[in-house]
């Protein structure tokens, strides 16, 4: 794939795009436009460096198209999803030539509900208010991503077991991919500056080194247990059956305690933050077997 930036083609200036669009960021609508050229230029590079397939890149929340322009310089095809009708109209006008050439598709709608196209990678400055929901629409697709998040969210996605940031988000994200924070981004890179620092996260899809029979249940189980992360697993599992969907939350605890499973009963005395994903998978398997749809013992 040829990098169009090597041809000397001038990239659009992000501030000029804002002026032509006649818009200003609106924090009340979760609009913070990325205007730092250096950060914008590096975002596609994180995918190139990891040898992502950039033949069809999906961008969520393109705004005025500053990142879109840079993606078009390295990708064969780009699809953008923009919920703001005025911005979608501006993108169609600003990038009319690229659209006519079949290299850019503008989808107007909410990224949480529109039908997403087939894509080979996603590079996006996500709307922070819905970043979690969008991320977990993307990760199950098994495609690599380079995404901008609030720094705290990014650090929790990539956190290792036993650290303060490790939690439900860490286990859920790392179930689908290797997650790494590749760059912190200051507030000043945006217009208007948000109240929080930001960070770029790269995810590389891979299969987990454990098996789960029911993925939806596994993710609900992890969510449920982490709602009581300060309690031991014994109590957290018992207290959150209504969240995880257990018919009998005592049954899996009893099965583990009585040595009916391969899990060491001592695991029940630990807290969620000390439990690696593979142990959560084993716990969820036991909970599914013994706690759902009657006693399977």
Reported as a single tens digit per residue, the pLDDT across 142-167 is 999 999 999 999 999 999 999 999 99
Distance, CA of 233 to CA of 21 (rounded, Å) = 53
pLDDT at 60: 97
pLDDT at 258: 97
Reported as a single tens digit per residue, the pLDDT across 278-290 is 999 999 999 999 9
pLDDT at 24: 84
Beta strands at 33-34 and 56-60: parallel, antiparallel or unpaired: unpaired
Domain ranges of the chain: 4-205, 215-291
Distance, CA of 102 to CA of 122 (rounded, Å) = 18
Nearest alpha carbon to residue 170 among 182, 156, 181, 180: 156
Q: Which residues, including other chains, have CB under 8 Å from residue 293's CB and lie 6 or more apart?
A: 247
Whether residue 242 is annotated as binding a ligand: the answer is no
Residue ranges with strand state E in the chain: 33-34, 56-60, 77-82, 104-108, 121-125, 145-150, 177-185, 190-191, 198-205
pLDDT at 295: 43
Tokens of 8: 């000397």
pLDDT at 8: 57
Distance, CA of 124 to CA of 154 (rounded, Å) = 14
Partnered with residue 287 across adjacent β-strands are none
Whether residue 53 is annotated as binding a ligand: the answer is no
For the domain spanning 4-205, the CATH number is: 3.40.50.150
Q: DSSP letter at 230?
A: T
Whether residue 104 is annotated as binding a ligand: the answer is no
How many Cβ atoms sit within 10 Å of the Cβ of residue 276? 14
Go through 35-68 and write b for each residue having 16 or more CB atoms within 10 A of its CB, e for each that does not: bbeebbebbbebbeebebebebbbbbbbbbbbbb
- Region for residue 63 given its phi and psi (left: phi exceeds 0; alpha: psi -120 to 50; beta: otherwise): left
Mark the ranges of the chain whose per-residue pLDDT is less than 50.
Answer: 2, 294-297
Whether residue 133 is annotated as binding a ligand: the answer is no
**ω into 192 cis (within 30 of 0):** yes
Whether residue 110 is annotated as binding a ligand: the answer is yes
Cβ pair 176, 139 in contact under 8 A: yes
pLDDT at 25: 77
Q: DSSP letter at 232?
A: B
Tokens of 258: 């009585």
Q: DSSP letter at 271?
A: B
pLDDT at 223: 97
Topology annotation, domain 215-291: Helicase, Ruva Protein; domain 3 (1.10.8)
Nearest alpha carbon to residue 166 among 179, 150, 185, 176: 179
Partnered with residue 150 across adjacent β-strands are 198
Question: What's the distance, Cα to Cα, between the start and end of the chain in Å?
Answer: 56
3-state SS, residue 186: coil
Cβ pair 142, 208 in contact under 8 A: no
pLDDT at 15: 95
Whether residue 26 is annotated as binding a ligand: the answer is no
Q: Which residues, including other chains, have CB under 8 Å from residue 22's CB and lie 6 or more apart?
A: none
């Amino acid at each position: 794939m040829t990098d169009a930036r090597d041809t000397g083609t001038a990239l659009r200036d992000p501030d000029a795009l804002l002026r032509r669009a006649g818009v200003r960021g609106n924090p009340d609508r979760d609009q913070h436009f990325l205007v730092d050229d250096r950060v914008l230029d590096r975002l596609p590079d994180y995918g190139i460096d990891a040898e992502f397939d950039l033949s069809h890149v999906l961008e969520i929340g393109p705004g005025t198209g500053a990142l879109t322009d840079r993606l078009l310089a390295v990708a064969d095809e780009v699809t953008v999803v923009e919920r703001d009708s005025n911005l979608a109209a501006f993108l169609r006008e600003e990038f009319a030539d690229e659209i006519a050439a079949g290299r850019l598709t503008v989808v107007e709608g909410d990224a949480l509900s529109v039908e997403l196209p087939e894509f080979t990678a996603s590079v996006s400055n996500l709307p922070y208010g819905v970043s979690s929901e969008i991320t977990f629409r993307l990760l199950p697709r098994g495609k690599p991503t380079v995404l901008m998040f609030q720094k705290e969210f990014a650090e929790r996605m990539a956190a290792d077991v036993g650290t303060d940031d490790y939690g439900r988000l860490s286990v859920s994200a790392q179930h689908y991919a290797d997650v790494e924070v590749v760059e912190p981004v200051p507030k000043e890179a945006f217009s208007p500056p948000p109240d929080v620092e930001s960070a770029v996260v790269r995810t590389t899809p891979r299969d987990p080194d454990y098996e789960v029979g029911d993925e939806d249940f596994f993710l609900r189980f992890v969510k449920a247990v982490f709602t009581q992360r300060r309690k031991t697993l014994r109590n957290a599992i018992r207290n959150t059956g209504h969240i995880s969907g257990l018919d009998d939350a005592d049954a899996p605890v009893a099965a583990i305690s009585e040595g009916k499973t391969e899990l060491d009963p001592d695991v029940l005395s630990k807290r969620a933050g000390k439990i690696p994903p593979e142990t959560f998978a084993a716990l969820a398997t036991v909970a599914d077997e013994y706690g759902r749809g009657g006693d399977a013992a």
